[in-house]
Amino acid sequence: MGDHVSVTIERGSSIDWIILDRPGQANALSSDLLEQFSGALRQLAAEGAPVIGIRGAGKGFSAGVDLGEYNAAATPVEDAQRLRRNLDRWLEIWNHPKPVIAAVHGYCIGVAAQIPVFADLTIVAEDARISEPKIPLGGGYVAPAWTHLVGAKRAKELSFIPGNEIDGRTAAAWGWANAAVPAEALIACVEALAERIALTPGPVLAMKKRSINRTMEAGGFLTGLNAVSETDALLHFEPAVAGLRRRIADDGLKATIAGFSGPGSAAIFESFKKDQS
């Protein structure tokens, strides 16, 4: 899949794993990784095991967009087209003929938190941290994809606080994930699920998936998503966001993130519970 391997395929009898494989860069979603990811999905559509798994190598699933490739000089139309291309990649998961299971451990940040939304099943480590981007450089791209799973109130709760995050147990309680399991059991759990799923013939699985997806689509799932690329591109060119980009250039990424650091909603709610006890 190209000279520099950013995605690897691990073969199995019931499940083939697509592994985001840039652990030294926190599996950041570079353009090279994204192209290889799409290529792996296409390759496994016609060959291999009856189930596909997606996971990250190293300490986490993915830190989200590769800021080293962030093209702030693009025009709004070019930016919207770029964002749409990435959304179309996730729809390749949605429309894939095979069941796709996302296995999330460690960190899953920003755009990376979109990927499991389009998977058919999502299993998370109990201590996983699923979060919004640490700096509000855009908006209206990640959280809207969550809405059909978790509801509008929780999607807004996630979105409004910079860097807001939920752990794996909360992700399962909200309906973003099917289940949260101990981190050390995550892969074994997904592979056990795949073994059971694989007992159902492939054509039957494909039609089951398609019929359930059609029900979600009839409820407006895709209609809402069709606007998110334009919304995010618009915000990328908002003067306030341009000011944040200048802060990153002048002060550095870590210092800029520190300016937005603080408790997420879960910590805020917990502090008030303790105050009342």
Residue 113 within a domain: yes
For the cut 90, the answer to whether the pLDDT of residue 140 exceeds it is no
For the cut 80, the answer to whether the pLDDT of residue 74 exceeds it is no
Tokens of 2: 């190209």
Residue-averaged pLDDT of the chain: 91
pLDDT at 3: 57
Closest CA to 237 of 120, 83, 131: 83
Residue 252 within a domain: no
Residue 57 within a domain: yes
CATH number, residue 49: 3.90.226.10
Residue at 70: amino acid letter: Y
C-alpha distances in Å from residue 84, one per residue of 30, 88, 113, 216: 15, 6, 16, 20
d(Cα 143, Cα 235) in Å, to the nearest integer? Answer: 14
Q: Pairing between strand 7-10 and 15-20? A: antiparallel
Residue 260 within a domain: no
Residues contacting 126, CB < 8 A, separation 6+: 167, 168, 169, 180, 181, 182, 183
The percentage of residues in the chain with a pLDDT greater than 90, rounded to a whole number, is 64
pLDDT at 186: 98
Neighbours of 79 (CB within 10 A): 22
pLDDT at 72: 55
Q: What average pLDDT does the segment 16-41 reach?
A: 96
- Burial class of residue 53, CB neighbours in 10 A (0-12, 13-18, 19+): buried
Domain that includes residue 142, residue range: 7-228
Residue 49 within a domain: yes
Residues contacting 108, CB < 8 A, separation 6+: 60, 61, 62, 116, 128, 129, 130, 131
Domain count, the chain: 1
Residue 33 within a domain: yes
- Return the C-alpha torsion angle 113, 116, 118, 120, nearest 10: -170
Q: What is the pLDDT of residues 184-218, one digit of tens each?
A: 999 999 999 999 999 999 999 999 999 999 999 99
Residue 264 within a domain: no
For the cut 50, the answer to whether the pLDDT of residue 255 exceeds it is yes
